[in-house]
Structure 1
Amino acid sequence: MRKFFIPILVICTVISCSDGDLQVETIDFNGVALQFCTDPVANSNNILFKINTTEALILDLQSGALNNGVVGETITTTSTISGQSKLTYRNFSGNVTSNYFCDDVPPATPTVAQEIEAQDGIVTIMTVADTNGTNFVHTITLTGVSFVAENGERITNLTIDEFGEVTTAVP
Structure 2
Amino acid sequence: MKRISSILILLLLITACDDGRLTVDTIDFSDVPAQKCSDKDLIYKIKDNIMLFIEIPGTTFIEDQTLDGVPIEVPISGTVKVTYRKYASTVSANNICGAAPDVTPNLVEQWTATSGIIQITSTAIKTTNASNNSTKITGYTYNINFKNITFQKPNGSQQYDNFPFGNYTKPIANSLTFGFNQQVDKSTCSGSDKIYDFSGGEVFTLDVADFPTLFANEPTTTPRTVLINATNKLSYRLYSGVITNDYFCATTIPATPTLIQQWNAVDGIEATSGIIEVTTTTLGAGFQHTINLKKVTLKKGNSDFYLGDNYPFGTLITNP
AA of the residue aligned to 1:35? S
Q: Which structure would you say has the larger Rg? A: 2
Match of residue 38, structure 1, among 190, 198, 201: 190
Deviation at 1:36, TM superposition (A): 2.2
Q: Flag the 1:30–1:96 CA change in 2: closer, same or farther, 3 A.
A: closer
Q: Flag the 1:122–1:140 CA change in 2: closer, same or farther, 3 A.
A: same
Deviation at 1:169, TM superposition (A): 2.1
SS for the counterpart of 1:155 is strand
Matched with 1:16 is 57
Alignment deviations for residues 113-169 of structure 1 (CA, whole Å, 9 cap, x no partner) = 121210131111001222x4x21211111111101221x121246597111112222
Given that residues 75 and 128 in structure 1 are in contact (C-alpha distance below 8 angstroms), is that contact kept between their aligned partners in structure 2? Answer: no
Alignment of 1:98 with 2:245, yes or no, is: yes
Deviation at 1:74, TM superposition (A): 3.4
Matched with 1:148 is 299
Match of residue 126, structure 1, among 279, 282, 299: 279
Alignment of 1:82 with 2:199, yes or no, is: no
SS for the counterpart of 2:247 is helix
Matched with 1:137 is 288
Matched with 2:201 is 54
Given that residues 187 and 316 in structure 2 are in contact (C-alpha distance below 8 angstroms), is that contact kept between their aligned partners in structure 1? Answer: no
Given that residues 275 and 296 in structure 2 are in contact (C-alpha distance below 8 angstroms), is that contact kept between their aligned partners in structure 1? Answer: yes
Q: Flag the 1:36–1:19 CA change in 2: closer, same or farther, 3 A.
A: farther
When normalised by structure 1's length, the TM-score is 0.73
CA distance in 2, matches of 1:91, 1:159: 23
Q: Flag the 1:78–1:156 CA change in 2: closer, same or farther, 3 A.
A: closer
AA of the residue aligned to 1:166? L
| Identity, % of aligned positions | 26
Q: Flag the 1:125–1:157 CA change in 2: closer, same or farther, 3 A.
A: closer
AA of the residue aligned to 1:128? T
SS for the counterpart of 1:99 is helix
- Comparing 10-19 and 54-63, the one that deviates more: 10-19
Unaligned runs of 5+ in 2: 1-36, 43-54, 65-135, 138-175, 268-273
Deviation at 1:75, TM superposition (A): 5.1
Deviation at 1:88, TM superposition (A): 0.6
Q: Flag the 1:11–1:31 CA change in 2: closer, same or farther, 3 A.
A: closer
Matched with 2:9 is none
Given that residues 247 and 253 in structure 2 are in contact (C-alpha distance below 8 angstroms), is that contact kept between their aligned partners in structure 1? Answer: yes
Deviation at 1:97, TM superposition (A): 1.5
CA distance in 2, matches of 1:20, 1:94: 24
Higher relative contact order (CA 8 A, sep 6+): 1
AA of the residue aligned to 1:126? T
CA distance in 1, matches of 2:241, 2:177: 17
Higher strand share: 2
CA distance in 2, matches of 1:166, 1:12: 48
Alignment of 1:166 with 2:319, yes or no, is: no
CA distance in 2, matches of 1:86, 1:27: 21
When normalised by structure 2's length, the TM-score is 0.41
Unaligned runs of 5+ in 1: 1-8, 40-44
